[in-house]
């Protein structure tokens, strides 16, 4: 193994650990807030177009998160969560169908409705 790689694995492990803890805490506290901010008719109403600058910014953050998550999957940590965050932000074909598929599952639906209910928000309406 080349000498320059000697400190590489400990550094990658430290970065992976810090990133994993950060994304876990962000998901733990951020997910209920985000779910409560989604309008109840989000999946049944026509959505207004997104501004170009917003679309560019979301893709500029989402695609690197998606790639980083795919890289982190074999390492212990939050690889799958990072992939999901990237998918949520990036313009990916079939994203709405995937979200509806997941939300129609009983345990997911109950968890989402419970998080929204704790914040005094009505459950999501699905197509």
Looking at residue 5, its pLDDT comes to 65
**How confident is the model over 4-22, as a mean pLDDT?**
77
pTM (2 d.p.)? 0.63
Q: Which helix (H) or strand (E) covers residue 57, if one does?
A: helix 52-72
Buried b (16+ CB within 10 A) or exposed e, 30-69: eebeebeeeeeeebeeeeeeeeeeeeeeebeebbebbeeb
Chain segment 54-110, per-residue pLDDT in tens: 999 989 988 988 888 788 777 666 667 677 778 878 888 888 888 888 888 888 888
């Amino acid at each position: 193994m080349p000498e320059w790689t000697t400190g590489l694995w400990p550094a990658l492990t430290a970065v992976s650990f810090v990133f994993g803890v950060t994304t876990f805490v962000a998901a733990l506290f951020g997910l209920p807030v985000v779910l409560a901010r989604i309008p109840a008719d989000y999946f049944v109403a026509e959505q207004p177009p997104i501004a170009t600058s917003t679309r560019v910014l979301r893709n500029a953050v989402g695609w690197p998160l998606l790639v980083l998550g795919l890289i982190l999957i074999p390492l212990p940590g939050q690889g799958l969560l990072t992939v999901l965050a990237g998918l949520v932000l990036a313009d990916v074909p079939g994203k709405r169908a995937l979200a509806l598929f997941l939300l129609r599952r009983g345990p997911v639906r109950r968890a989402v409705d419970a998080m929204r209910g704790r914040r005094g928000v009505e459950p999501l309406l699905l197509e």
